[in-house]
A and B are shown apart, each in its own frame.
Chain A
């Protein structure tokens, strides 16, 4: 116990003295939460709209105003000639252009069908898709209202159906609510995996590991002494990120905070295991960081559902995501924070995380001990 204590004190002294460490430990999480909370937003608002109104009637102007008042679109400008639309789409100035034909109002008044051309910039598939779906909804509502107005009569029935949506867990549909809890996972990954592996490899590089190995320190004591400081820092950072999420981003934590920390500990088993594993295959700090970055970080970020929903991935890739422990932790953390889910719902993910943690940690400790001998 005393030896472990000495190792922990030594590690903390080194962390405190390293000028690079403090920014990584405290500034980076704050920076991440702010950037991911604000920048990583896929919310589609203020879609740039270009109008080419050839009809120039009261009716066409009223039609255009339907788009503006919907709140989804911002009128970017209008052009006289449909040929001018090309340039604006080419230059990505607008997402959607609407051409209202010359006989628009005439056709409607005569009870004939008026065609409206919608030109969307499909380069950004997601924005184009959502913009078009908004536009088509606005048009068909407009169309339906005219139809009902024209069909008014004492005995005429005009049945319709309307949808009354209610959004749960995130009523304002803010991306931040989705992204910010994920930052906790990201920060834990960086602190407990990257920093642990670098801290071990640094001792290898400067030769102090060899010095420790000729002392009576046991490998298990060495590992515990080495990782405990980073676990502590990881938990402090989790608390830091959580408090920013609550106070700054107004994200209420619906589930149990104690459970959140408990399940974070399960995730830390995995990250520490990976950190130790990386340290056994890297000779220099640089190699350790590269390995962590490219072989753990990228797959974890892309394949865990961190930003991109797993449900949308091809079947085979969806199977691969089951091998990414971060996937389970994200499900846990989002379920707990946003939905208030408890262990009765999250037990499967927790079990998976626990199994991953135990396997990875044992393999890495086994390898580490083998290298020490």
Chain B
């Protein structure tokens, strides 16, 4: 069995039958997946789905109840010290020392990772440039705005050029422009061959990932590239309806037997139906018979949000 291997050179991260129980609560339930080197892997799920628990098991912060995880080829439980040398980790709380200055934080984490002399100076320069903090080395971290703080935090997490970077909700509470810059940074890291494992509950961010794992109630529901996941929904047809009374229209459509799901997207309604039958005419008739005026009906490709809602309602239905 694979448990006997302490190393695995195939993939950056490999997780087999990983579970974590807190008393009666199952935070992670028999999770399996693989992430290859240089990939940006997104872990998508609502709050409390088990994202942080999984990431903490991968970093060796908590022990799994059953199953095992290989990170960078090392079994996390057996060789935690090897794993720690090759990973970077940044949590949603930006865990820097608020009462240390920018430079002192870099020096400290650099020292902890064993960077010294010229090497440390180079990396420091790189991070200050990357985080646009040149000239603010002496500023206390607590006085930095959210976006800068976040970039400094990731800077400190990748100071030692880790092979794999774990980011736990890295953009929570950060403004849209900073988020944009942040993802640019992630891409450039991935181009350098660094594997990125990122958890998020922002759907637009998940679109940026090479592959996504969708986690709900501790279980992986779906895994694959964003396009693949969307295509999986092809068993359904999704129509987008623009009309003058969207709320009434949604109520009315929900009652129809051929409608699987309805949801609001801004002022438009998304209706999913089983595939194969063209429903545009049926929708039109149903609504117009109740005096609702239709502006447009389009057959659309499902977005990640559709995927997300599909699996959420499914798990609510089954749970």
Which residues does A use to contact B, with CB under 8 Å? 2-3, 5-7, 9-10, 13-14, 17-18, 206-208, 210-218, 373
- Quick one: which of B84, B96, B100, B116 contacts A215, CB cutoff 8 A? B84
Q: Is the CB of A210 within 8 A of B100?
A: no
Q: Smallest CB-CB separation from B58: which chain A residue? A: A214
Asked if A210 contacts B112 (CB within 8 A), the reply is no
When A6-B111, A216-B81 are in contact, do A211 and B91 touch as well, CB less than 8 Å?
yes
Nearest to B168 among chain A residues (CB) is A210
Q: Smallest distance from the beta carbon of A7 to chain B beta carbons, Å?
A: 8
Contact of B95 among A6, A10, A207, A216 (CB under 8 A): A207
Q: What 4 A-B pairs are tightest by C-beta distance, nearest first?
A: A6-B111, A211-B95, A207-B95, A214-B89
* Cβ-defined contact, B100 with A10, below 8 A: yes
B59, CB-defined interface residue at 8 Å: yes
Asked if A17 meets B99 with Cβ closer than 8 Å, knowing A3-B112, A214-B84, A373-B63, the reply is yes
Minimum distance in angstroms from A328 CB to a CB of chain B:
37
- Shortest Cβ distance from A19 into chain B, in angstroms? 10
Q: Could you list 14 A-B pairs, sorted by A, with CB under 8 Å?
A: A2-B114, A5-B111, A10-B97, A13-B100, A206-B95, A207-B91, A207-B95, A208-B95, A210-B95, A211-B89, A213-B61, A214-B166, A216-B113, A217-B112
Q: Which residue of B lies closest to A221 (CB)?
A: B112
B30 in the interface (beta carbon within 8 A): no
Residue in B93, B99, B140 whose beta carbon sits within 8 Å of that of A207 in the complex: B93
Tell me which residues across on chain A come within 8 A of B42, comparing CB atoms: none
CB–CB A2/B96 < 8 A: no
Q: Smallest Cβ distance from B82 to chain A, in angstroms?
A: 9
User: What's the tally of chain B residues with a CB closer than 8 Å to chain A?
Assistant: 29
Q: Which residue of A lies closest to B92 (CB)?
A: A207
Q: Given A6-B108, A10-B97, A215-B84, verify A210-B114 contact (CB < 8 Å).
A: no
Chain A: CB-nearest residue to B85: A216
Which of A3, A9, A18, A208 is the one whose CB lies under 8 Å from B114? A3
Question: Is A210 a contact partner of B91 (Cβ separation < 8 A)?
Answer: yes
Inter-chain contacts of B104 with A (CB < 8 A) = 10, 13
Give every chain B residue within 8 A of A207 (Cβ-Cβ).
91, 93, 95
Answer whether residue B60 sits at the interface, using C-beta atoms and an 8 A cutoff.
yes
Q: Which residues in A have their C-beta under 8 angstroms from that of B59?
A: 214
Contacts of A9 in B (CB 8 A): 108, 111
Which residues between 87 and 134 of chain B lie within 8 Å of chain A, taking CB atoms? 87-89, 91, 93, 95-100, 104, 107-109, 111-114, 116
Q: Which residues of B contact A13 (CB under 8 A)?
A: 99-100, 104
Q: Which residues of A contact B114 (CB under 8 A)?
A: 2-3, 216
C-alpha gap A315/B243 in the complex (Å): 89
Known: A10-B104, A10-B108. 4 other contacts (CB 8 A): A3-B112, A5-B111, A212-B112, A214-B60
When A10-B100, A14-B97 are in contact, do A214 and B111 touch as well, CB less than 8 Å? no
Bound form: Cα–Cα A218–B88 in Å: 16
Interface residues of B (CB under 8 A from A): 59-61, 63, 81, 84-85, 87-89, 91, 93, 95-100, 104, 107-109, 111-114, 116, 140, 166
CB-CB under 8 A from A18, the residues of chain B are 99
Q: Is the CB of A3 within 8 A of B111?
A: yes
The answer on a CB contact under 8 Å between A215 and B111 is no
Which residues of A lie under 8 Å from residue B89 when comparing CB positions?
211, 214
List, in ascending order, chain A residues with CB within 8 A of B113's CB.
Answer: 215-216
* Docked CA distance A263–B256 (Å): 85
Contacts of A17 in B (CB 8 A): 99-100, 140
Kindly report which residue of chain B lies nearest to residue A6, judged by CB atoms: B111
Inter-chain contact B109/A206, CB cutoff 8 Å: no
Give CA–CA (A95, B190) in the complex, Å: 85
Flag if A215 contacts B109 (CB, 8 Å): yes
Contact indicator A206/B84 (Cβ below 8 Å): no
Given contacts A13-B104, A215-B84, A216-B85, A208 and B111 within 8 Å (CB-CB): no
Which B residues touch A216, using CB under 8 A?
81, 84-85, 112-114
Contacts of B60 in A (CB 8 A): 213-214
Query: Considering the chains assembled together, what is the distance between the CA atoms of A206 and B114 in angstroms?
Result: 24
Contact present for B97 and A214 (CB under 8 Å): no
Name the one of A5, A208, A373 contacting B96, with C-beta atoms under 8 angstroms: A208
Closest to B108 in A: A10
In the assembled complex, the Cα of A7 lies from the Cα of B87 at a distance in Å of: 20
Residue in A closest to B109 when the chains form the complex, CB atoms: A215
Q: Is the CB of A206 within 8 A of B98?
A: yes
Minimum CB–CB distance for A134 against chain B, Å: 58
- In the complex, what's the smallest C-beta–C-beta distance from A202 to chain B, in angstroms? 10
Contact in complex: A206, B93 (CB < 8 Å): yes
CB distance from A223 to the nearest CB of B (A): 15
Measured CB to CB, the nearest residue on chain A to B88 is A214
- Greatest chain B CB density within 10 A among A7, A17, A212 is at A17
Residues of B within 8 A of A210 (CB): 61, 91, 95
Query: Complex formed: what's the CA distance from A208 to B99 in Å?
Result: 12
Q: Compute how far the CA of A214 lies from the CA of B88 in the bound complex, rounded to whole angstroms.
A: 7
Instruction: Give Cα A191 to B89, complex, Å.
Output: 33
**CB-nearest residue of chain B relative to A215?**
B112
Scoring A13, A14, A217 by chain B CB atoms within 10 A of each residue's CB, the highest score goes to A13
Residues of A within 8 A of B95 (CB): 206-208, 210-211
Tell me the nearest residue of chain B to A222, going by C-beta.
B112
Please determine whether A14 and B100 come into contact, CB atoms closer than 8 angstroms.
yes
Closest-by-CB residue of B relative to A5 is B111
Nearest-neighbour CB distance to chain A for B168, whole angstroms, equals: 10
A200 smallest CB distance to B (angstroms): 14
Q: How far is the CB of B81 from chain A (nearest CB, A)?
A: 6
Q: Which residue of A lies closest to B59 (CB)?
A: A214
CB distance from B94 to the nearest CB of A (A): 8
A5 to B104, CA, bound (A): 14
Highest count of chain A CB atoms <10 Å: which of B85, B98, B111: B111
B81 nearest in chain A by CB position: A216
> How far does the alpha carbon of A342 sit from the alpha carbon of B166 in the complex, in Å?
58
